[in-house]
A and B are shown apart, each in its own frame.
Chain A
Amino acid sequence: MSDAIFMRFRQPSVLPGFGLTLGFTLAYLSGIVLIPLAALILKSAGLGWADIWRIATDARTLAALRLSFGASFIAASINAVFGLLLAWVLVRYSFPGRRLVDAMIDLPFALPTAVAGIALTALYAPNGWIGQLLAPLGLKVAYTPIGIVIALTFISLPFIVRTVEPVLRDLDREIEEAAATLGASRGQTLLRVLLPSLMPAILTGYALALARSIGEYGSVIFIAGNIPYVSEIAPLLIVIRLEEFNYAGATAIAALMLAISFTMLLVINLIQTWNRRRFGHGS
Chain B
Amino acid sequence: MAVETMTLFTSPVSPPRRLRSATSEAPEIKVVLTTIALLFVAIFLLLPLAAVFVEAFRGGIAAYLSAITEPDALTAIRLTLTVAAIAVFCNLVFGVAAAWAIAKFEFKGKSLLTTLIDLPFSVSPVISGLVYVLLFGAQGYLGPWLGERGVQIVFAIPGIVLATIFVTFPFVARELIPLMQEQGTAEEEAALSLGANGWQTFVFVTLPNVKWALLYGVLLCNARAMGEFGAVAVISGKIRGVTNTMPLHVEILYNEYAFSAAFAVASLLALLSLVTLAVKTFLEWRFADGIAVGRSH
Contact = CB atoms under 8 A, between A and B. Distances in A.
Question: Within the complex, are A and B direct neighbours (CB within 8 Å)?
Answer: yes
Interface in A263-283: 264-265, 269, 282-283
Contact of B127 (A157, A211, A257, A269): A257
Contact of A217 (B100, B169, B233, B295): B233
Interface in B175-228: 185, 188-189, 192, 197-198, 201-202, 220, 223-224, 226-228
A59 interface: no
B22 A176 contact: yes
Given A110-B277, A247-B134, A257 B124 contact: yes
A contact residues, range: 35 or more
Contacts of B248: 114
Contacts of A236: 126
Nearest to B48: A119
B106 A36 contact: no
A119 B266 contact: yes
A250 B227 contact: no
A208 B297 contact: yes
Given A95-B13, A157-B45, A10 B122 contact: no
A21 interface: yes
Interface string B96-111: 0110111011111000
Nearest to B30: A93
B296 interface: yes
Contacts of B223: 109-110
Nearest to B96: A21
Given A39-B141, A85-B36, A235 B254 contact: no
Contact of A162 (B247, B274, B296): B296
Given A32-B166, A33-B119, A115-B52, A204 B104 contact: no
B47 interface: yes
B131 interface: yes
B38 interface: yes
Contacts of B118: 265
25 contacts: A17-B198, A21-B98, A28-B90, A29-B98, A33-B169, A36-B135, A85-B36, A93-B14, A105-B41, A106-B297, A107-B273, A107-B277, A110-B280, A114-B251, A116-B48, A119-B266, A122-B55, A177-B22, A186-B25, A189-B23, A215-B123, A218-B233, A238-B126, A238-B127, A258-B123
